[in-house]
Amino acid sequence: MVVLDKIGDGLWNAFQMGWEVWWALVLGFALSAVVQALVPHSRMQAALGGSGLRPMTYATGLGAASSSCSYAAVAIGRSIFAKGGSFTTAMAFQFASTNLVFELGIVLWVFIGWRFTAAELVGGVILIALMWLGLRLTVTRRLEAHARARAEAMKGGHHHGAGGIPHNFLHDWKMLWKEIVIGFVIAGFIALLPADFFNRLFVTDAPEGVRLIENVIVGPLVAVASFVCSVGNVPLAAVLWAGGISFAGVIAFIYADLIIIPLVIFYAKAYGKPVTVRLVGVMFVAMATAALIVDGIFSAAGLVPTKRPSIDSVASRGIEWNYTTVLNILAFLAAGTLFWLARRERAAARAAAAGV
C-alpha cells in the first residue's frame, strides 16, 4: 500500500503541475504555429549557407520561430546541413528551436517567474555566440565536409510542414506530448524526495564562486541523466530551483536538452564521432559559460531571485476555481478547435487524393 500511495502521490503531483501550465502550453504552441505558417522551411534551408553574422542571426531567428522537440530539432538541423546550410547555422537553428521558443518562455514564467524567462532568452543568444566561436575553432573544413557527406547519406528526418496554423499546432503536439508528459511525471516523483537530497546533489554552502561552477556543471549532467528535453525540462527545473540549485544552475540545466544520450548517439550517426566529440564538448562548455555570464549580468542588475518556493508549492498547487481554471477551460476549447480543424484538413486532403 505504501508503494501504491507513493505512485499515486507522484502522479498527482505531475497532474497538478500540468494543470498549472496547460493554458500556457496551448498559448505557446498556438503562437508558434502562427509564426511557422509564415516562415516555411524551404526558405530557411536556402538562406542558411555560410557562418557569418547574417546567416547565424537568420538561423537563430528562424529557429526561435520554429517550435520543435529536441529530437525533431536535431533532425531538422541535419536536414538544413545536408541541404547546404553550414554546420554552425544548423546547430544554431536547432538550439534556438528548442530553447528560444514561445512555449518554453511562457511555461518558465508561470512556474518560476519572468526573470528565468528573460535569463533564458539573454543566455540563449550568448550561448549561440559561444557555440559559433567554439565550432569555428574546433571543426575544420575537412571535418565539416566529412560530416556533410554522412548527413547527406542519411534518410530524411522529421520536418515541420509549411501548412496552416491548425496543421502546425497538431504537428507540434504530436512531436512534443511524450516529452512533456515524461517531464511532468519525473518532476512529480522527484518532488517526493526529501529536501536535503538536493542539498547533497548540489553544493549550496560553499563560497559563491565554487557553488556556481559546481552547479553549472552538475545541472546539465542531471538533464542528461533525466533524458527529458524541451518544455518537459521546466517542471523539473522548478523542483531543482526549489531544492537549492543556483540561478545559473537552473539556466544551465534547461540548456542541456540537446546533449541527452539519445541525441549524442544521433550526432555520431549523422556527423561521425570526431565531429560529435567536438560538438558535445563545445555545447557543454558553452552552456556552463553562458549560464555563468547570465548570472553575472542578472546579479549586477539585481534581477537574480532571492525567494524560492517550497518543493511542495511547486508540485502541489492544488486545483480550484480561479483564473488558472478559467484560462484552462478556454485553452481546452481553443486546442479542441485547432485539432478539429487540422483533422478536417487532413480528411479533405485524403479525399482529394483519392479522387472523391
Residues 26-79: tens digit of each pLDDT: 876 787 677 667 655 566 556 666 667 888 888 888 888 766 667 667 777 887
Percent with pLDDT over 70 in the chain: 83
Q: Which residues of 137-161 are buried (b: 16+ CB within 10 A; e: fewer)?
A: eebeeebbebbbebbeeeeebbebe
Of residues 281, 230, 300, the one with CA closest to residue 258: 230
What are the start-end ranges of the H helices in 139-207?
141-153, 165-190, 196-201
- Alpha-carbon 86 to chain mean position: 22
The answer to whether 283 touches 244, Cβ cutoff 8 Å, is: no
Cell numbers given for 351: 479525399
State residue 79's pLDDT score: 76
Residue 42's CB: how many other CB atoms inside 10 A?
A: 11
Q: Using CA atoms, how far apart are residues 211 and 175, in angstroms rounded to an integer?
A: 36
Of residues 216, 220, 224, 226, the one with CA closest to residue 188: 226
Kindly report, residue by residue over 228-285, the tens digit of the pLDDT. 666 767 877 888 888 788 899 999 998 888 888 778 888 888 899 999 999 999 999 9
The position carrying cell 472523391 is 356
Of residues 156, 152, 159, the one with CA closest to residue 271: 152
The answer to whether 153 touches 328, Cβ cutoff 8 Å, is: no
DSSP structural state of residue 283: H
Q: What are phi and psi of 260, to 5 degrees?
A: -70, 155
Cell numbers given for 340: 478539429
Mean pLDDT across 296-304 = 93
- The CA-to-CA distance between both ends of the chain, in Å, stands at 57
State residue 54's pLDDT score: 83
171/160: higher pLDDT? 171
The position carrying cell 503536439 is 173
* Sign of the torsion angle spanned by Cα atoms 39, 41, 47, 52: positive
C-alpha separations of 60 from 28, 90, 253, 256 in Å? 18, 9, 20, 17
